[in-house]
Homo-oligomer: A and B are copies of this chain.
């Protein structure tokens, strides 16, 4: 799964611009996916070239024009197809845990600081997940609810482990 597929997925829920896609990824996918403008805009351009989305320029008052993309029939087919045959991956890259493995080479203060940083980080993620749950629980699909619940379960476990062991 690449940025292109995710963009297509986001557009399938609701037509939007590159800028809005970035917002959505930050708000709703932040704990398990990230993408920068440098990957989103080229992805959009290619999706349009291949006819999976169509973009329409929208003029706005008191702010820059934007280009809103909506998904086509072909795009929806392509999205369904790629969701249907991709291996589900789940990759964690934790330089934090590597750091902990070499904790004996750190000063105790540094080690404690590192753990505190991660607690703060997870705490931030947790806050946004709870916020989103409180605000939008009703209109969430079952899949989104599953993903959000997963995040909460894992973050809760991570936080309580770290607080217990630090």
CB of A80 within 8 A of chain B? yes
CB of A157 within 8 A of chain B? yes
Within 8 A of B (CB), among A71-111: 79-80, 83-84, 86-107, 110-111
Binary contact readout A134-151 vs B (1 if CB under 8 angstroms, 0 otherwise): 000000011110110111
CB of A32 within 8 A of chain B? yes
* Interface residue from B99, B143, B162 paired with A102 (Cβ < 8 Å): B143
CB of A114 within 8 A of chain B? yes
CB of A45 within 8 A of chain B? no
State the CA gap A142–B101 with chains docked (Å). 8
Chain B residues with CB below 8 A from A165, complex form? 146, 149
> A88 contacts B92, CB within 8 Å?
no
| Contact A90-B84, Cβ < 8 Å, known A104-B143, A150-B162 | no
| Contact A88-B117, Cβ < 8 Å, known A93-B93, A153-B161, A157-B156 | yes
A114: nearest residue on chain B (CB-CB)?
B88
State the CA gap A95–B141 with chains docked (Å). 18
Q: What's the minimum C-beta distance from A35 to chain B, rounded to whole angstroms?
A: 10
State the CA gap A45–B94 with chains docked (Å). 24
| Contact A95-B99, Cβ < 8 Å, known A154-B157, A156-B157 | no
On A, residues with C-beta under 8 Å from B are 1, 6, 9, 12, 28-29, 31-34, 79-80, 83-84, 86-107, 110-111, 114, 117-118, 121, 141-144, 146-147, 149-151, 153-154, 156-158, 160-162, 165
